A and B are shown apart, each in its own frame.
Chain A
C-alpha cells in the first residue's frame, strides 16, 4: 500500500493539538470550573500535539528512506 497511514494520523492530531492549545490559551478560565479548575484544553492539546508530531516524524523519516532507496 502506497499511503503511509501515519501521515494522516499525524496531521490530524497535530491540527487537533494546535487548535486545542490555542483555544486553551485564549479561552476564559471560567469554563474550566467543570474540569476541576484545570485548563484541560491547553494540557491535553499539548499531549495531542506531541503525539501528532511524533507520528508525522515517523512518516516523514520512512518517506525519506523510501525516496533514498529509490523505491516509489
Chain B
C-alpha cells in the first residue's frame, strides 16, 4: 500500500494528545501515597469513570484492528462477540459476581482465589496471569510498531520506544488512577476519532442498505447465501452455511458462555477497574454501565471492516493481497483511514489508533504490577514488609513489566511461532477458569484440592482436544493435531477454538465437583462468609429507588441487546 504522508496539523494533534496523557500522570502523582492508592486507586473512582475504563482497558489493538479484520472476513456474524459474548457476561459479573470480588476486600482476582480456595490455586492463577499480561502487552506493542512502519514509514524502534516510554511515565507517576483516567480520555478519543470514518464510509456505500447490497456478491462468490455477510443469526443453522464455520451451539456455548464469561468475569485486567470503584454499588454498576456503549461498538469496529471488504470487491483491490492470495484483513482500518480522511482528521484517526494500543498496553501493565507485587512478591518473596516497601516495588514492577513487554515485542519480530505458541498455551489455561469461579462462588462444598486439580485437568483437556483435532485445510502443528492423530476435523479454526473451550470448561467443571466430593473441606462456613453465594447476606438494594438498582439496569441492558440481535438477525 502507499504510505500516508502526514501534515503539520496531524503532528500537532498527536503532540497535543501526548502532552495531555503525560500531563494527567503528572497531575495525579501527588495522590499516590500508599500501595492501595497505586494499585487500586484508593478505591475512590466514580462509577462513570470506572465504567468507561472497564471498557477502554479491553479496547486495545486486538479489538480495533482484530474486530475490523473479522468484520471483513466474516461479516456481521462478528457481532456475536458483543451481543452474545461480552454483554451478557458483563451483566452477569456486575449483578452476581461483583458482590464477592468487591465485598471480600480481595485486592486482586488471584487473592480472591486464595481466600476462597487455597494458596496453590492462587499461585497457579497469579503466575500464569502475570506471564500472560506481559506477553500480551508485548504483542500489542509489536502490532502497533508494525502498523506504523507499514502505514507511515516510521521505524519499528521509534514506535516501540515512544509508546513504551509514554505508558511507563504516566503509570509510574499516577499508578492505576492515571491508567484509568487516561483510558477514559482514550475512550472518547477512539469514539470521536473513528466515528467520522464510519459515517463517511456508510455515506459512500449508500447507508446500511447499500452496504448490504454490496456485500451480496462477496457472499455469493464465496459460495454462501446472499446475506451471509450482513446477517448475524440466519446462517448459523449449520457450520457449512457461514464463513466462520460455526453452528449455533458452538457459538452460544463456546464463544458466549465459556470464552466470554471466562474473560469478562475472571480476567483481572478488567475486574481491577471495577475493584477500584468507590463503593459496592459503584463497583456493581461499573460493568453494567460499560455494557451500554459496548453494545454499540460493533458500529465502530466491525462496520469499517464490512465497508472495506464491500469496497474491495465492488471497486477492485482496496485491500493489499497477501502472500497466500487472500486480502490482508488486518489493514482494513488503516486503509480506510487513508482512503477517506484528509490531513487533519487523518491525524485524529491515527491518534485514536495509537490511543487504543496504549490503553490496551497500560491495562496489561497495571494488572501485571498489582498481581506481581501483591500475589507473587508479597506472598512468596518478601512477606511482611512495610506498605512503602510494596509501593516502591509497584513502581519497580511497572518499569520491568514494560521492559519485559519491549523484550517480548522484539522476540515476536524474530520468533513469530513462539508467540503463537504462547498464546495457544494461555488459551488452554484460560478456558477452564470460569468453571472454577462459578463453582467457587456458588457451591460452598468446592474444595481447594478440587479447584486446583480441576483447573489442571481442564487445562490438560484443552491441550489434548487441540492436539487431537485439526481445522479444515490446516497442516498438523501449531494449528492442532500435534499429538499425531486427528480424531475430528473442524470446518474452521474458530470452530476448533470454541470447542476446545467447551471441552476444557466441561472437564474442569466435572473434575472439580468430583475431586471436591472426594476431599475434605479446607474452609469452614465461617471462613467462606462473603465469598460464597449461599453464605453471604443478599444485597437487596432496598435503599435504592427501583430504577437505580443494578438488577434493573441489567434487565434493561439485556433487553436492548436482545433487540439488536433481532434487528440484525
Contact = CB atoms under 8 A, between A and B. Distances in A.
Contact of A12 (B9, B20, B31): B20
Nearest to A33: B342
Nearest to A38: B200
Interface residues of A, number: 29
Contacts of A20: 9, 13, 344-345, 348
A28 to B, nearest CB: 10
B23 A27 contact: no
Given A9-B188, A40-B196, A15 B345 contact: no
B501 interface: no
Given A19-B13, A34-B340, A36-B203, A3 B181 contact: yes
Interface string A37-59: 01011001101100100000000
Nearest to A12: B20
Nearest to A41: B344
Contacts of B24: 3, 8
Nearest to A32: B342
Given A3-B28, A9-B185, A19-B12, A44 B345 contact: yes
Nearest to A42: B344
Contact of A35 (B13, B20, B28, B342): B342
Interface string A5-16: 100110111011
Which of A2, A12, A51 counts the most chain B CB atoms within 10 A? A12
B275 to A, nearest CB: 16
B342 A13 contact: no
A11 B41 CA distance: 23
Interface string B139-178: 0000000000000000000000000000000000000010
Interface residues of B, number: 35
B288 to A, nearest CB: 20
For B31, B196, B203, B344, which residue has the most chain A Cβ atoms within 10 angstroms? B344
Contacts of A23: 9, 343-344
B380 to A, nearest CB: 32
B319 interface: no
A68 interface: no
A51 B341 CA distance: 21
A29 B24 CA distance: 37
Contacts of B188: 9, 13, 51
Interface string B4-30: 000001001100110010011001100
B347 to A, nearest CB: 9
Contacts of A45: 344
Contact of B184 (A9, A16, A32, A35): A9
Contacts of B184: 5, 9
A36 B41 CA distance: 46
Contacts of A35: 200, 340-342, 345
A25 to B, nearest CB: 11
Contacts of B17: 12
Interface in B172-211: 177, 181, 184-185, 188, 192, 196, 200, 203-204
A41 B344 CA distance: 6
Contacts of A5: 49, 181, 184-185
Given A8-B24, A9-B188, A36-B200, A16 B16 contact: yes
Given A20-B345, A35-B341, A48-B192, A8 B20 contact: yes
B200 to A, nearest CB: 6
Contact of A31 (B181, B203, B343): B343
24 contacts: A1-B41, A1-B46, A3-B27, A8-B24, A8-B27, A11-B20, A12-B16, A12-B17, A16-B16, A19-B12, A19-B16, A20-B344, A23-B344, A24-B344, A27-B342, A27-B344, A34-B340, A34-B341, A35-B200, A35-B345, A38-B200, A40-B196, A40-B341, A48-B192
Given A36-B340, A44-B196, 18 more contacts: A1-B31, A1-B42, A1-B46, A3-B31, A8-B23, A8-B27, A9-B184, A12-B16, A12-B20, A12-B185, A16-B16, A20-B344, A23-B9, A27-B343, A31-B342, A35-B345, A38-B200, A40-B341
Interface of A: 1-3, 5, 8-9, 11-13, 15-16, 19-20, 23-24, 27, 31-32, 34-36, 38, 40-41, 44-45, 47-48, 51
Interface of B: 9, 12-13, 16-17, 20, 23-24, 27-28, 31, 41-42, 44-46, 49, 177, 181, 184-185, 188, 192, 196, 200, 203-204, 339-345, 348
